Structure 1
């Protein structure tokens, strides 16, 4: 007898808790610092460094040169192609001749830019590495030669923008040849004190910051990294990482800041590094710079943290079956509630001061916090005060307003459903065109739509479905779950919440029959028709109803419904009537058990056995086959799929199982044990009776409840109430020896009795 616990799936680090607050609202450029507890960074910044570089070159080249052609020329053309362009060669492929940026570079007045790109292409292998897992191999001889060449080209160039690009390459060559002092000095000499607005300037400044770090000036290094972080969104991720490596405290960095805006950015960066709910960074950033765009990101992070640590577990009590990754003890929940209240107090106080750049977003956020606290009148009042014109803020307002309206409604009736329908269709416009989560566009273009998709899914499975469940409207609950499934966004904690899961695993026969009738009935309301239109296609409700009757061991009604189902919709077994001596193995054709048994044939056989049990004397084999079939369709049996669509590896019997007729037999095997004992009583064959006793022992052992006291727990496993019978009355049978050799618990029992 084997009891196995195994690991489950790894959660999606961007979608593992219930959220209705999109991090993408007013957060462009700060994407890496949206909240997630499961990975170092949420995503890549917008724009990417490549996109920012292309934009710089487009500004340089002016009208008539396309972004696509710049990207193609810089990032795909080999050195030889760039050399031919720089030399003004006429022998160029047609595709290159058509490239607008290549045309620009080919003009005599732009040859300096072409020669620079050729030089940059030469430098790239010397200052990069193959991948993040490979240690860089620095060729200092090559870098020194490139430095001399670059310095000569730099001094000859007349174009100031191109000269700055050469300056960056020279600083980079010094930095990666570990001549950090010279790299820092080169920056000061080549760029001076006047700040530029170009990407290449900030890349060079980041190299200076890195050089200072290696020279042990960690505070100055941290300050410069904060400046690059502020001014160059495409470099924020790398600068944040480097700043954290300096280990400089923000109080050390503040004195270097030239104004309060710079101090606010330093405070924000350190706030982004805090994974725990904490309003300190919001307070500091606002005190320095109330208009800082980082405030919106910090606010979103705090809301998302509390959704993760407080709101999701709270919703889990309302009917969802989520797998949490955060502690949810009463003490921790109380602590998170205090953090929630503190965040709302801070949010409201900053709104009242009137200096926030996006005050309406903060008002909507406060309303959402009131919603989480279940103070719906306050949330409604706060929403009524918002006059947002910004589309992103208006979208978030719509979401919070919908949540408040649903929770203020005591019963979701047909009148409210009519009001709810436009909101569901509004979500359709926001999620139009998104496909399966794993087929999304990973360049960030789909991120906002997928955020709406997740919010819509969360509304359906975590809010509306449980509400209908509590109202006893299980058909509507199934329809809501069907709409949720159609979004193709079910992942991790939504597992087990789908319409198919509900139909195949949980629904009782009467509810399934009502569902079938509803789907075929005319005269549905627009709301009902909308939901029914998304109900999973290909679901054979006749088969599902038959399965639901099998769960109740009502094989007569199950047979009748299986007859209505298409033959190819019925599951097939080979070993459902074959005893299972151990808790492993699949129900496949093997040995004499090679004939397929459909669910319909199974029910017909069970009914035949029931009829035989009505006529005394009942053959022992009849009881035995009936018991074996019941065990086979239990949680532990090979043919569990006759009654369930899914069998998790971590479920087990508990006393609560006895409260439900199906769970009692599925996990407890009471009836199977009873029929095994009846089979033993009806037989005089000791070998057969020994087999019956062992199978009854297996059924009995399934009801052992885990205990804190390990010794008592093991004692219970060893002292099965059937073991004395096996070891006493049937010790001389061949089957006993077989059971003794395979069952360690039986062996431990026998050994323990010998000691006495």
Structure 2
């Protein structure tokens, strides 16, 4: 287990660095379902689990107790509230206190307290006046390194050396001797130690502690503050062991100084811990020493927790150790992002800002506990299997017909744990088991309900929802933080354990758990800053439940609902996959939607102009790519109200994103298509103007091909070309060649590749990726990562080739035949690219023979390319090399020129 935590710490280090440029924060990459901050002793808040900062910071500083203010409240006999005391001690102007001393207070709080307040507590007020005078100077003087070459802004600040040393020491000593109250006396002693420390008179600081602090037999707040300063002076003297021990005492006894004392201890090695542990005499000291040792990530916490348990199972710091471990496990088991692939049955759990893919072989499925079936259930299952359907288990129809057992036992149900998790380690599962055993033992000994809650959560991670809920139901507590966590976990168990999400259960969600799904207006505290958050909102319970439901709908075959749980309707433009679009449309047109479907899912059906036209364009585009021009025309006839692909642009005046307004003469996804789409390449340059990259054919025989067309007119022109192409003359040959041109020009290789994939231009992107899936649906889980991968049907280059073949067979013009063969060869090149993308090398870069194997793989690809995907280049070379067309192509196409030579 020690190896586990070391590897995790190293991975965390590199992970944080690598994501820094991507505006990523690892503490935004888990749902925080088990709230760390429910620990009762808030002085330990900085020591909760965090990857992005050295100490946990997701709390308000005023949540940490301040023993100094508590001590002053006690000194003033609780006459002031905590806030009033804090104001008096830390914020009130020194002039106000002097005015109170003179008997004419003007400050509102002091006026309320009256002049008698000073007479009663004059020693305390006099001390505060002196402390406020000294405070601006109470920092150590900066000593510049001889190698410094830049200005350090601390040089310009006041420090202790700006005060007259002898005069200050004399004044503090005099005030110390005059004070009668032991606590105030000790506070002056603290100031003497601090002043000497900050003026680098370390020996004098140590002597001041012995002379003015230690003799007063009080071990309260002033003593802790003075001890903190003594430890600093000892560090300056090189007495590191003594300094560490005293900082350790501060860490143990102080509530507000734990973080600073921990930093000051400088525990960089095991020996430092052992020195403290050797000096620890009391159980409290030993317990605290073990905590410091277990806190560091390079140690396995459970053996340390066992030692702490033996000392005191009710220890608050033991709970801190446990909550850190639980937080670690949550990151392993409940990632906020699943990059899943059904292509190679591989899954990667990762972040919402960084995509991680894998080409590794099939991963081990998460362990599912074997279900104990009754004799009757076995008989029922036997006959179901015997007479059941042989349909693909991953088809939508098959998914929809699953019973509760099949749904519950699906290994892809979230939460899921796989070896491809970014944070995965071989020991992670064992660690969950070990921590569960420890928690189960501790809840029997400790009187704190925390351990029952922790045990219930660990059982939730292990998918034992029934046992988790039973534990939660038995907990009796009045702690508000505990009650909120119990409530949340009951909701989690209820939803995650549900076999199927149906209409009845959706009504239950809205009736009993609406707060976890509806949007809330967040009102910020007036004291909170409004800095821009680069990382977005922190993932929440609501986000986790949304993911769970999206996954459930996906496994049930309700892809449209699954998609809309995490995506907008307009997002379909980036991956216009026909089957998914149909499922989304079915949900859109579904009558009598439940309240959950209306308020939670349908709200993501955002503005795309005419929704009917939006769907019609996607379907029409797909029909065009399949060369079904009649069907495409019928869809485009329904898309007359299409207002443009729903893109957004930054509105400088409105200071927000607003819908993109397309100029009247610009392609918007439907209108303004040039007749160059029927032409051919002059050269391959997607960035060049259409007239530079493309050349028109002779359209004089086809007056229905207009210079500029919309998609319905384009489809109509293709329908007419198809009819003309059925004849056996030069005109029909030209008609077939033009159809072939259009299919090639709108493929992934063509200049107009954007036309039928819902894009506004031909710039690169996921849609123009040969690495497409052979499966109808490549997703293993759900559509949360929808925009991060290509998910459209691949081009069928044979469609273009078939039309070219017709033209080749009919035409008698040798020059035209040469041009047609070149076009066919270009389309055949597309088929090769598809083959190459589907057959990657999968050679590990760490392989010692990587270079040799890569060369062999490339040689094999070249051989296959020449044997199977150079048919038309070969014909062009052997039969039409002497044509003017071939000679011109050699000048404009370097690859063809190379092939010909």
When normalised by structure 2's length, the TM-score is 0.63
Confirm whether residue 155 of structure 1 aligns to residue 173 of structure 2. yes
Confirm whether residue 466 of structure 1 aligns to residue 551 of structure 2. yes
The residue number in structure 2 matching 1:224 is 246
The residue number in structure 2 matching 1:294 is 317
The residue number in structure 1 matching 2:205 is 183
Alignment of 1:599-638 (within 5 A): 601-602=710-711, 604-606=713-715, 608-616=717-725, 617=732, 618=735, 620-631=737-748
Q: Is the 8 A contact 1:427 1:456 kept in 2?
A: yes
Alignment of 1:349-748 (within 5 A): 349-352=441-444, 354=445, 356-358=446-448, 360-427=449-516, 432-434=520-522, 441=528, 454-461=540-547, 463-478=548-563, 480-481=565-566, 501=571, 505=575, 508-518=580-590, 521=591, 523-531=592-600, 534-535=603-604, 537-538=606-607, 540=609, 541-542=611-612, 544-546=614-616, 548-549=618-619, 552-553=622-623, 555-556=632-633, 558-566=635-643, 569=646, 572=668, 601-602=710-711, 604-606=713-715, 608-616=717-725, 617=732, 618=735, 620-631=737-748, 641-642=758-759, 653-654=770-771, 656-657=773-774, 659=776, 669-672=794-797, 674-675=799-800, 678-679=803-804, 682=808, 684=816, 690=822, 693-694=825-826, 696-697=828-829, 700-704=832-836, 705-707=839-841, 708=843, 709-715=853-859, 720-721=865-866, 729=877, 733=887, 735-740=889-894
The residue number in structure 1 matching 2:265 is 243
Could you tell me which runs of 5 or more consecutive residues in structure 1 were left unpaired when the two chains were aligned.
1-5, 91-95, 482-496
- Aligned partners of 1:47, 1:253: CA distance in 2, in Å? 29
Structure 1, 282-291 or 120-129: larger mean CA deviation: 120-129
Distance 1:476 1:701, change over 3 A: closer
The residue number in structure 1 matching 2:129 is 114
Counterpart of 1:297 in 2: which secondary structure?
A: helix
When normalised by structure 1's length, the TM-score is 0.74
Confirm whether residue 254 of structure 1 aligns to residue 324 of structure 2. no
- Aligned partners of 2:47, 2:235: CA distance in 1, in Å? 23
Deviation at 1:467, TM superposition (A): 1.0
Deviation at 1:72, TM superposition (A): 10
The residue number in structure 2 matching 1:494 is none
Deviation at 1:299, TM superposition (A): 1.5
Q: Is the 8 A contact 2:294 2:304 kept in 1?
A: yes
The residue number in structure 2 matching 1:143 is 161
Counterpart of 1:20 in 2: which secondary structure?
A: coil
Q: Is the 8 A contact 2:136 2:158 kept in 1?
A: no
Q: Is the 8 A contact 2:456 2:467 kept in 1?
A: yes
Distance 1:380 1:275, change over 3 A: farther
Deviation at 1:136, TM superposition (A): 5.5
- Listed one character per residue, the Cα deviations across residues 341-385 of structure 1 (whole Å, up to 9, x for unaligned) are 111111111112x2x242x22122212222222233332333343
Paired residue total: 696
Structure 1, 224-233 or 629-638: larger mean CA deviation: 629-638
- Aligned partners of 2:584, 2:526: CA distance in 1, in Å? 33
Distance 1:11 1:533, change over 3 A: same
Distance 1:395 1:313, change over 3 A: closer
Deviation at 1:117, TM superposition (A): 1.0
Higher Rg: 2
Structure 1, 708-717 or 255-264: larger mean CA deviation: 708-717
- Aligned partners of 1:464, 1:284: CA distance in 2, in Å? 42
Distance 1:113 1:384, change over 3 A: closer
Deviation at 1:736, TM superposition (A): 4.2
Alignment of 1:282-321 (within 5 A): 282-312=305-335
Counterpart of 1:552 in 2: which secondary structure?
A: helix
- Aligned partners of 1:273, 1:723: CA distance in 2, in Å? 62
Deviation at 1:666, TM superposition (A): 6.7
- Aligned partners of 2:22, 2:602: CA distance in 1, in Å? 31
Counterpart of 2:745 in 1: which secondary structure?
A: helix
- Aligned partners of 2:296, 2:683: CA distance in 1, in Å? 51
Counterpart of 1:642 in 2: which secondary structure?
A: coil
Distance 1:361 1:154, change over 3 A: same
Counterpart of 1:631 in 2: which secondary structure?
A: coil
Counterpart of 1:29 in 2: which secondary structure?
A: helix
Structure 1, 720-729 or 694-703: larger mean CA deviation: 720-729
Deviation at 1:404, TM superposition (A): 2.5
Deviation at 1:439, TM superposition (A): 13
The residue number in structure 1 matching 2:403 is none
- Aligned partners of 2:719, 2:593: CA distance in 1, in Å? 43
The residue number in structure 2 matching 1:484 is none
Structure 1, 247-256 or 160-169: larger mean CA deviation: 160-169
Deviation at 1:544, TM superposition (A): 4.4
- Aligned partners of 2:225, 2:568: CA distance in 1, in Å? 49
Q: Is the 8 A contact 2:243 2:265 kept in 1?
A: yes
- Aligned partners of 2:682, 2:70: CA distance in 1, in Å? 72
Deviation at 1:415, TM superposition (A): 3.2
- Listed one character per residue, the Cα deviations across residues 173-223 of structure 1 (whole Å, up to 9, x for unaligned) are 44345444443333333321745443x654443333344345444444333
- Aligned partners of 2:83, 2:476: CA distance in 1, in Å? 38
Q: Is the 8 A contact 1:366 1:379 kept in 2?
A: yes
- Aligned partners of 2:617, 2:584: CA distance in 1, in Å? 11
C-alpha RMSD over aligned residues:
5.4
Structure 1, 316-325 or 182-191: larger mean CA deviation: 316-325
Distance 1:474 1:427, change over 3 A: same
Equivalent residue in structure 2 for 1:16, among 29, 38, 47: 29
Deviation at 1:454, TM superposition (A): 0.4
Distance 1:632 1:697, change over 3 A: closer
Confirm whether residue 35 of structure 1 aligns to residue 45 of structure 2. no
Distance 1:524 1:706, change over 3 A: closer
The residue number in structure 2 matching 1:489 is none
- Aligned partners of 2:775, 2:316: CA distance in 1, in Å? 57
Equivalent residue in structure 2 for 1:272, among 271, 295, 314: 295
Q: Is the 8 A contact 1:138 1:176 kept in 2?
A: no
Distance 1:509 1:332, change over 3 A: closer
- Listed one character per residue, the Cα deviations across residues 265-316 of structure 1 (whole Å, up to 9, x for unaligned) are 2212222222676422321222222222112222111112112224549987
Q: Is the 8 A contact 1:282 1:298 kept in 2?
A: yes
Q: Is the 8 A contact 1:693 1:725 kept in 2?
A: yes
Distance 1:609 1:316, change over 3 A: closer
Q: Is the 8 A contact 1:19 1:458 kept in 2?
A: no
Q: Is the 8 A contact 1:86 1:114 kept in 2?
A: yes
- Listed one character per residue, the Cα deviations across residues 690-726 of structure 1 (whole Å, up to 9, x for unaligned) are 5764565356325423211422454467675567976
Deviation at 1:531, TM superposition (A): 2.7
- Aligned partners of 1:206, 1:559: CA distance in 2, in Å? 78
Deviation at 1:648, TM superposition (A): 7.0
Counterpart of 2:513 in 1: which secondary structure?
A: helix
- Aligned partners of 1:39, 1:68: CA distance in 2, in Å? 32
Q: Which structure shows the higher helix fraction?
A: 1
Deviation at 1:395, TM superposition (A): 2.2
Q: Is the 8 A contact 1:633 1:642 kept in 2?
A: no
Q: Is the 8 A contact 1:33 1:41 kept in 2?
A: yes
- Listed one character per residue, the Cα deviations across residues 499-555 of structure 1 (whole Å, up to 9, x for unaligned) are 76578646634322222223xx4x544444543575455355335423542563353
- Aligned partners of 1:684, 1:560: CA distance in 2, in Å? 35
